[in-house]
Amino acid sequence: MAGVVVRRPHARARVIAFYLPQFYPTPENDEWWGRGFTEWTNVASAQPLFRGHDQPRIPTELGFYDLRNPESRAAQAALANEHGIEGFCFWHYWFGGRRLLDRPVREILASGEPSSPFCLAWANQPWTRTWMGSGETLVDQPYSVDDDEAHGRWLAETFADERYLRVDGHPVFCVYRPGDLPDPARTCDTWRKICTRDGVGEPFLVGIDAFAYGVDQRDNGFDATLHFQPVLSRLPHSGPGRPTLGRIRRNLRLGVLDPRVRVFDDSEARRRMNLRVKWNHPTIPTVLVGWDNTPRRGRQGMVVVNSTPEALGESLDDAIARVADQSPEHRLVFINAWNEWAEGNYLEPDLTYGRSKLEAVARSILG
């Protein structure tokens, strides 16, 4: 195995980027969306919906990659590490023992490459046709005591990898919707017992608050709470359906004449979504890169315009400042996301900004 990348001792925080493994064909996606479907299918077919709408988004130096290719995964890891990002947090899709989109992590574990640290976040919601966890269900998300144990055994094997990201020696594992677990404290306790028994130590369990804003996830058995972004519900007049007068006025201020599209300026969106409250519980901040999910949802999507590299850097500076009083091991900041291209939410170089977003991230992390 190649040597593990050691994080830079002078980094201001341990910055981890969420990573979507939806960039290679699978039998399930062939069945549901058409033969050869990947995330690039939506990205490449996107159309601008108003004047100045930055669509379609075009990748540059990494290209329209296929994650079955180890060279693509290595290039991603090298680019992230070059700009101060400690590692990726791969979205993990576990449905009662059935794993989907698992090939990149499976091959990383088997090959030992790339050598960068990584961790996992369980996207524990049903797969649906809306991409939003609602609507027609494609794969249900079952829960049971037996499944907790089977999942715990699989996690313990994965945590044993020397590259797996740790806090004070404890492997980091995130859960997207902790409130959906029938008994989250029992699940957490099961995982801790299995991981201790199997010699990898108790995991550092992080409950994501995407659907539980402000909830202290220690009450559910977790060690910390990750404050997720985007928090789209905090944006005014943001619901789907018939246009409201507030939406029409906001769109007109942004030069968008179509009242059906939900459009926000980046500065307003960040101001409303950024965590300004000082919670009385351990909270890990997340920084949003940008947002435009119209490649997936068309006019039912939501667009944040004017998302510049400078605004991203300022948000990351703010998040890093919020963890500055923690011990170095606990100065965790997550970025959403490395490669959510169909949500306009990615750090990878594109035709519009090149490497500018990554360079802004590097300035924040490395000073």
Q: Domain span at residue 271?
A: 14-366
CATH of the domain at 324: 3.20.20.80
Q: Is residue 337 part of a domain?
A: yes
Q: Is residue 78 part of a domain?
A: yes
Cβ atoms of 205 and 222 within 8 Å: the answer is yes
Provide, for the chain, the percentages of residues in helix, strand and coil under a 3-state DSSP scheme, each rounded to the nearest 5: 35, 20, 45
What would the pLDDT profile of 307-346 be if each residue is shown by its tens digit?
A: 999 999 999 999 999 999 999 999 999 999 999 999 999 9
Q: What's the domain count of the chain?
A: 1
Q: Is residue 150 part of a domain?
A: yes
Q: Is residue 209 part of a domain?
A: yes
Q: Is residue 3 part of a domain?
A: no
Q: Is residue 6 part of a domain?
A: no
Q: Is residue 7 part of a domain?
A: no
Task: Give residues with Cβ within 8 angstroms of 208, minimum separation 6.
Answer: 121, 174, 175, 176, 177, 178, 225, 226, 228
Task: Give residues with Cβ within 8 angstroms of 252, minimum separation 6.
Answer: none
pLDDT tens series, the chain, 367 aa: 333 444 566 799 999 999 999 999 999 999 999 999 999 999 999 999 999 999 999 999 999 999 999 999 999 999 999 999 999 999 999 999 999 999 999 999 999 999 999 999 999 999 987 655 556 899 999 999 999 999 999 999 999 999 999 999 999 999 999 999 999 999 999 999 999 999 999 999 999 999 988 899 999 999 999 999 998 888 887 777 788 899 999 999 999 999 999 999 999 999 988 755 567 788 999 999 999 999 999 998 999 999 999 999 999 999 999 999 999 999 999 999 999 999 999 999 999 999 999 999 999 999 8
Cβ atoms of 171 and 161 within 8 Å: the answer is no
- d(C-alpha 198, C-alpha 196), whole Å: 5
Residue 8 confidence (pLDDT):
60
CA proximity to 276, closest of 241, 322, 317: 322
Q: Is residue 1 part of a domain?
A: no
Give the length of the chain: 367
CA proximity to 334, closest of 286, 273, 283: 286
What would the pLDDT profile of 40-59 be if each residue is shown by its tens digit?
A: 999 999 999 999 999 999 99
